[in-house]
């Protein structure tokens, strides 16, 4: 019998777009929690939903381990957990029910549970950990195991909680044990990556949180705080991973890698000194990329940097309270390319106030900066953000996407929902054609007529929507 069975409710199988992409990573936040609780003396096991077929495998794990405590601890480093996809929320509800039927005490931790704990209690959860959960979970288990009441544990909510109090975040991240990688089915992940992509990638995180104020970005776990591991601690983990699992690639899941001054430079030195360099991808703010950091990233082995570009219109960046300039995006792409680092752009369409001209500025930015990859979304209102408060009166019945390919406009955007679905195709047609010619990709070059036809067809449809929307606004103004 296992005391604590950890699981999470993000099933790649339930997200068709990402299942097709097949770039799976174990739930890093769950692995940290399992490692911390094991360090307190508890016997722990892991149910990894990422590559599971359905919730039925959770039931099998419950029957196998017969845990006293079932902890559905979401991976808070997975941005999709923050988006509260409806299919994953339903999976969590099903998992709660399965655990309760087997007599488990059920504990939840994650962005959606933090924001909507009442709904989880309705489905049978016993406790919800607010925000960062390792220390709160440890104290809760200590109290319950000793037969004591747990109502006074800071950072905890139950049905009887009268005063909800958040626990201060962990500042000394170096004191945390490395994630419990021994609980993961490494051969299964490795085979999946090698079969689909020809290399094996693992995930790491060097920080927790983000201090910036983008008004559409929800921060239910860490708020505005930002805490960082030391470059020495991260380099030691990379060396340990390299020696024990030999990954070909690392995905740093930080919101921002190396925000502290000279962190990346010191990190690069330590990796070189300790033969710990592993090619990696990471996220960066455009205004933090300069000659010094770009050079250090290249020295550290960085292969790809994803930038939250969002828009090529300064008006929209300012409305989002991004805090950077369009010029920063152009400069970051140029510097990273100069040092041999691939660039990915996250683009966001449909923010309130965005016009046809703003969209054209974004398209022009993609043409001139020539990123190596792009990710496109429409603006997504998340609870706890200024953006959510601004548009919540425009919501219909649907307030969450079902999966990551949903792309539904959940509020009244500048254009109808179908416009953005067509725009998604329009941008990808042009991007793929230009990338093929730039990189001399024969397969893509052969598809040029297809791309050109797709661009013409979608451009025609977009302009019809533009004209119809203009006439509608004109008619309303006239009346």
Q: CB neighbours (10 Å) of residue 330? A: 16
- Separation between Cα atoms, residue 209 and residue 460, nearest integer Å: 42
pLDDT lower than 70: segments of the chain: 1, 82-84, 406, 470-479
CA gyration radius, the chain? 23
* φ and ψ at residue 109, rounded to 5 degrees: -145, 130
In this prediction, residue 277 carries a pLDDT of: 98
Interatomic CA distance for residues 209 and 216, integer angstroms? 15
Which parts of 137-197 are beta strand (E)? 156-157
CATH, domain range 180-475: 3.80.30.20
Structure tokens at 308: 């939250």
CATH class, domain 4-157, is alpha beta
Tokens of 403: 């999966």
Give the domain ranges of the chain.
4-157, 180-475
- Specify the pLDDT at position 478: 47
Residue 82: what pLDDT? 64
pLDDT tens for each residue of 24-77: 999 999 999 999 999 999 999 999 999 999 999 999 999 999 999 999 999 989
**Identical topology for domains 4-157 and 180-475:** no
Question: Which tokens sit at 78?
Answer: 């997975």
0.75 surpassed by pTM: yes
pLDDT at 419: 95
Measured distance CA(82)–CA(114) in Å, rounded: 10
Give CA–CA dist 5/301, Å, rounded.
Answer: 36
Classify the C-alpha dihedral 33-34-38-43 as positive or negative.
Answer: positive
């Amino acid at each position: 019998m296992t005391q604590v069975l950890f699981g999470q409710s993000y099933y790649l199988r339930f997200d068709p777009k990402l299942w097709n992409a097949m770039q799976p990573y174990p739930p890093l936040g769950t692995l940290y929690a399992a490692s911390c609780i094991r360090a307190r003396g508890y016997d722990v096991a892991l149910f990894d939903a990422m590559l599971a077929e359905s919730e039925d495998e959770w039931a099998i794990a419950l029957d196998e381990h017969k845990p006293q405590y079932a902890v559905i601890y979401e991976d808070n480093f997975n941005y999709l957990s923050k988006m509260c996809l409806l299919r994953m929320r339903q999976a969590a509800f099903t998992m709660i029910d399965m655990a309760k039927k087997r007599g488990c005490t059920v504990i939840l931790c994650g962005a959606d549970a933090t924001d909507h704990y009442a709904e989880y209690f309705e489905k049978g959860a016993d406790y919800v950990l607010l925000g960062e959960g390792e220390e709160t979970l440890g104290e809760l288990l200590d109290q319950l195991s000793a037969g004591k009441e747990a109502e006074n544990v800071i950072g905890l909510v139950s049905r009887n909680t009268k005063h909800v109090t958040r626990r201060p975040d962990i500042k000394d991240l170096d004191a945390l044990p490395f994630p419990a990688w021994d609980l993961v089915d490494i051969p299964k992940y490795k085979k999946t990556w090698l079969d689909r992509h020809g290399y094996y990638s693992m995930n790491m995180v060097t920080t927790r949180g983000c201090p910036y104020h983008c008004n559409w970005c929800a921060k239910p776990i860490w708020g505005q705080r930002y805490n960082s591991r030391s470059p020495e601690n991260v380099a030691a983990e990379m060396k340990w991973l390299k020696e024990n699992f030999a990954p070909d690639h690392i995905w740093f899941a930080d919101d921002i890698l190396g925000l502290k001054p000279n962190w990346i430079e010191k990190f690069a030195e330590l990796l070189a000194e300790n033969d710990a360099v592993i090619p990696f991808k990471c996220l960066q703010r455009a205004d933090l990329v300069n000659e010094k950091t770009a050079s250090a990233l290249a020295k550290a082995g960085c292969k790809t940097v994803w930038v939250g570009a969002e828009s090529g219109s300064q008006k929209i960046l300012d409305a989002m309270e991004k805090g950077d300039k369009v010029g920063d995006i152009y400069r970051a792409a140029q510097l990273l390319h100069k040092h041999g680092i691939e660039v990915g752009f996250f683009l966001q369409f449909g923010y309130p106030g965005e016009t046809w001209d703003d969209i054209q500025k974004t398209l022009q930015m993609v043409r001139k900066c020539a990123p190596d990859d792009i990710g496109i979304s429409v603006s997504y209102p998340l609870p706890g953000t200024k953006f959510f408060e601004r548009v919540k009166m425009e919501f219909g019945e649907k307030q969450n996407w079902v999966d990551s390919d949903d792309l539904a406009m959940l509020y009244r955007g500048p254009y109808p929902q179908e416009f953005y679905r067509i725009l998604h195709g329009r941008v990808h047609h042009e991007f793929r054609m230009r990338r093929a010619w730039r990189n001399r990709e024969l397969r893509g070059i052969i598809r040029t007529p297809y791309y050109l036809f797709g661009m013409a067809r979608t451009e025609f449809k977009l302009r019809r929507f533009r004209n119809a929307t203009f006439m509608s606004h004109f008619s309303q103004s006239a009346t």
